[in-house]
Structure 1
């Protein structure tokens, strides 16, 4: 009797599995975006990179001028150390060592400032691009839009699913036609002066 009950349960289970398997599978509309290529080719990302490269070069020139003055003083120190005596050499040596430390700190601060500023802008850019792609996916009726690039989240996709170029073009059009951002005044006095002029 137990055998018949077990066989009956197995038969019912097998039939229910077959019914589920026979149900038609839903087709998903999918696409993917190569995020490395997107960031490399998107005009706003290029503009941010160029902005901080120029800013880095400008700040680097200012720091380089300070470093060259320091090297000149250090060279003069070595020439004049014996002529001016040990007390002068110790005092001047301590001053030069302090300036060398200050130059190192200035360089670190400059790099940190550039990283913080560019990082904040790139984070905002990435956030806006993700929102854009999400809205685009909804509008076009995609079930999934995957990301490829440095952080791969799919292992295979047909090239026909790649919408990277279309996304870049639409983002570039939006960026070029959108309102231009103006730099904000550095402090509230500048902002008040600007408001007073209007």
Structure 2
């Protein structure tokens, strides 16, 4: 028996409806776990600047570093004051000095000024090197902690944002900064 065009059309519509129904069920089945399962954010980040500034070791080490820097700068200032006092004394006594004494005193003052300048440059270089070393030590502490934190919490990657545009936007749920900072400070305090 031959089917009429109307019967063929009805059968075709039923097959299409069945195909659509199967596609919808497949889609819902594949999407269901993502919609109703607890979500864990796979891409997370920390604000490195906040970690460095909020880390207790940073505050302790910076305070010690600033005290040491103040002592070094005080030594330079003391030498400069002595040199200026000698220069003032030279200006007062200059009229009573012979040419030879004047030349000798000028040379001594110039040499002393050069030594002070050299010392001041050496102090500034030492301060800069110690500041870089201090900062690197703190960064290493933070990096080590974040590495362990990531392993212990099952993260594949933790980005570091520094406010320079490397992460332009991220949902607040992706920000681990406060959680990491709290753990970092507990570790520093030996808790």
Same-fold call, TM > 0.5? Answer: yes
Q: Deviations over 1:37-94 (max 9, x none)?
A: 1111111112221111111111111221111111000011111112112211111001
Q: Answer with 109-118 or 67-76: which moved more.
A: 109-118
SS in 2 for 1:57: helix
Q: Does 1:133 align with 2:146?
A: yes
Listed as ranges, the gaps of 5+ residues in structure 2 are 1-26, 35-39
From the superposition, tell whether residues 66 and 118 of structure 1 become closer, same or farther in structure 2 (CA, over 3 Å): same
User: Which aligned pairs between 1:175-194 and structure 2 lie closer than 5 A?
Assistant: 175-177=188-190
For 1:41, the equivalent position in structure 2 comes to 54
Show the counterpart of 1:74. 87
What CA distance in whole angstroms lies between the structure 2 residues aligned with 1:150 and 1:29? Answer: 21
Q: In the alignment, is residue 94 of structure 1 matched against residue 107 of structure 2? A: yes
Q: CA deviation at 1:156?
A: 1.2
| 1:174 correspondence with 2:187 | yes
- TM-superposition CA deviations, 1:77-123 (whole Å, max 9, x none): 11111211221111100100111111111111111112222322321
TM-score, normalised with respect to structure 2: 0.74
Deviation at 1:144, TM superposition (A): 2.2
**In structure 1, what is the equivalent of residue 63 of structure 2?**
50
1:118 aligns with 2:131: yes
Q: How does 1:16-35 map to 2 (within 5 A)?
A: 29-35=42-48
Alignment coverage as a number of residue pairs: 156
SS for the counterpart of 1:177 is coil
The separation in 2 between residues aligned to 1:41 and 1:128, in whole angstroms, is 13
* Alignment partners' CA distance in 1, 2:44 and 2:103: 69
Gaps of 5+ in 1: 1-21, 179-198
* 4+ runs deviating over 6 angstroms: 24-27
Distance in 2 separating the partners of 1:111 and 1:47: 21
1:163 aligns with 2:176: yes
